[in-house]
Structure 1
């Protein structure tokens, strides 16, 4: 696993001795495991070795908005921001599938920041994730919900096996609004709905709506 970790995170090569000592602490979790909670102290900096982690923030009324997902070889902005500032976590992290992670303790994270390669890696993460979050803010603030829903449906194949609540969580809205829009899409003949199943019939129409254009005839 030590070799696999360095393959995923090659810039950590100067920290190989420390990683060797930590490798036994890697944990494997099933899908749906909450790895960290919004408002809680950060317990460590996660390195994802396998699987995927969904990072989302929640409102007081129970709504959820997905910020990004962390794949093997990627880093978590929320965790690093919490460790940098010494503040509670700003979002939740949940495994979307069986995942393996190595948690870097906060004290070790601070020590590693003195290593130029690791510091560059973390700062690069901030630049990448901020670009993603800027796009998300733009979508939430300036795009209509039907446009965002159409964009969310695209790029997942012709058959989507997911619930209306899952889509609502990704879009930061309520299930009833998503259901209403999906039924509108179905009346237009763009999709066909089943139980936790959406079949894309006219992807060109969805693509046009997502781009703010009139659907093709």
Structure 2
């Protein structure tokens, strides 16, 4: 965590001696709606998925936290003394440094460097949430799905169910199933249970890149590059 290297030695000592390392297995519920955060977790290993349950019962993935990051929702709840309104799920086994609320409050109040670290991470994640809003409000589903497959496929293969992709994109499973069937008809992908294999990366990428001309300038400026699979 680069920002923490700028802390004065005394504050770094407080941070390291009063924090502790936690380890949780995959599929653990790290936090959930109505619960109050006791610690700010700095993720050292693994991935955490932060998602919200809509009134319709549909899950919507807000963002992921990976090694070297903290959870902006936890930060916001700790700063505002609010309970969580979403849940965090460990997608893999995770290792994290847990900063107790008392230490967090003291450092935010006393250290400019720690405040900068907290709010810089907060700012980056707010950009990600704008991205989610952009996806849901402005992009066609076929474009969003093509981009998501490219982004998340590992060596050309994405292990995910139709329901999981629907949660990622904030839509219904039936919509994803119809669109994947169309991608398969075009020869872009092959499907088996819980697995999507990319057969024509150029075809998918051509569709995914159509979004640049179809989104407002504000959101286009916030859009992050696609994954490296097709580079």
Q: TM-score, normalised by structure 1?
A: 0.87
Distance 2:4 2:62 in 1: 22
Evaluate the alpha carbon distance shift between residue 172 and residue 12 of structure 1 in structure 2; reply closer, same or farther with a 3 A threshold: farther
Distance 1:9 1:62 in 2: 39
Match of residue 203 from structure 2:
205
Per-residue deviation, 1:48 = 1.0
Distance 1:85 1:187 in 2: 50
Distance 1:206 1:52 in 2: 26
Distance 2:63 2:8 in 1: 26
Per-residue deviation, 1:22 = 3.1
Evaluate the alpha carbon distance shift between residue 193 and residue 45 of structure 1 in structure 2; reply closer, same or farther with a 3 A threshold: same
Is contact 1:160-1:199 (8 Å) kept? yes
| Partner-residue secondary structure (3-state), 2:88 | strand
Match of residue 147 from structure 1:
143
> Out of 9, 12, 15, which is 1:16 matched to?
12
Is contact 1:55-1:67 (8 Å) kept? yes
Alignment RMSD: 2.0
| Partner-residue secondary structure (3-state), 2:210 | coil
> Out of 99, 103, 106, which is 1:108 matched to?
103
Evaluate the alpha carbon distance shift between residue 86 and residue 131 of structure 1 in structure 2; reply closer, same or farther with a 3 A threshold: same
| Partner-residue secondary structure (3-state), 1:211 | helix
Structure 1: stretches of 5+ with no match in the other structure? 1-5
Distance 1:178 1:122 in 2: 37
Distance 1:77 1:205 in 2: 35
Residue deviations 1:99-150 (CA, integer Å, cap 9, x gap): 1122222222111102111100011112211112112211110001111111
> Out of 30, 39, 46, which is 1:35 matched to?
30
Is contact 1:9-1:73 (8 Å) kept? no
Match of residue 91 from structure 2:
96
> Out of 126, 147, 154, which is 1:130 matched to?
126
| Partner-residue secondary structure (3-state), 1:140 | helix
Q: TM-score, normalised by structure 2?
A: 0.82
| Partner-residue secondary structure (3-state), 2:187 | coil
Is the counterpart of residue 184 in structure 1 residue 182 in structure 2? yes
> Out of 43, 51, 55, which is 2:46 matched to?
51
Per-residue deviation, 1:93 = 0.9
Number of residue equivalences: 207
> Out of 62, 77, 83, which is 1:82 matched to?
77
Structure 2: stretches of 5+ with no match in the other structure? 212-231
Per-residue deviation, 1:9 = 4.6
Per-residue deviation, 1:12 = 5.0
